[in-house]
Structure 1
Amino acid sequence: MAVLLAFGGFALWQDAAVSRGAFASADLLQYKPADKNTAAPTLAELQALNPDVCGWLTIDGTHIDYPLVQGATNMDYINRDVYGEFSLSGAVFLDSRSKADFSDGYSIVYAHHMENGAMFGDVSKFVQADYFAAHPSGSLILPDAAYEIELFVCLRQTPTTRRFTLWSATPPTLPPCLTAVQARLCSSGRWMWARRTG
């Protein structure tokens, strides 16, 4: 009985630690660029700690406010934080096939969906039309550029659905991309699409 109680206590402590660790800490937020309209030297400081850091993503009014990392594979940051240390909540990371300067036709950013709203936990709130409308913007800050981003569509993709691919070769210009997205749109969804506006 004592072993079960001890294990139960440890499991609760571990769950709380993972949940707390998923939010950006004050130590990490010190590296957040202060002005989203200019590239920030604080990103360079974070890159000095981990050269895989490639930017900072913020969706205004949500918990999505994290540095971006990019590993050699998409498994590198599943269970490692932005400092490269083991963490069950992982990090927010750019697909390893994408260009770190976001110059591709599209870029994919991943993070765990945490039930407490951390990481990409707020993404599920975008299924509500009023929430989506109240959070239409954000910023993407790179080491040498800063962009305003506009959230313009929400798309549902379930874990059991076949892999979703908009195109197989060269990414198209925006109109064909939007046509492909529109074919799969529903009134609510889990995946956000954003475009740079500046």
Structure 2
Amino acid sequence: NGITQPNRNPLLKLNIGADGLKTGHTAEAGYGLVGSAVQDGQRIIFVASGLSSEAERRSETEALVKWAFGAFDKVKFFDKDAVVADADVWIGEQPTVPLVAPQMLQMLVPRESRDAVAASIVYQGPIEAPIAAGQVLGALVVEVPDQDTARFDLVAGRDVARGGLVTRIGAATRLARDRAVQMLPARD
């Protein structure tokens, strides 16, 4: 139709991974940009608004993209289906069940906090059989200084059927013995 519309996204010409989205300007909101960029498989989406000129829009959004990719590291904890831990099973055909990651467990952390990341596995055990594969049984809890705590579900890696009569009698006997020992007075 003979109409040519130039692209006003200044980031597309830079080598910072920008691939879109929308620029705009109104008298009330000033110059703005809703953008998207990808580096090393990590995508960011950002919004800048209230800028005073096209030049400021370019410099501020370029700085924002460089900061976002430079200030955070992707930390991978476990691949999908990786066994994270084994949980004790109560009256099951097997004494333990693997706790697995239902998807890749990863998160972005501030680069300066990377070495201070602490992770722990939490579940209420022993877990009573029967247990179905894929059933949520616990969590990987990740703590990063000055950030909200992150929780990732951990699921049963296999089915565990309820144990037979001998298994149940053995479990009940061990429980009764352990409770009796706990009730004994301490020796000095």
Q: TM-score, normalised by structure 1?
A: 0.20
Largest Rg, 1 or 2:
2
More strand by share: 2
Higher relative contact order (CA 8 A, sep 6+): 1
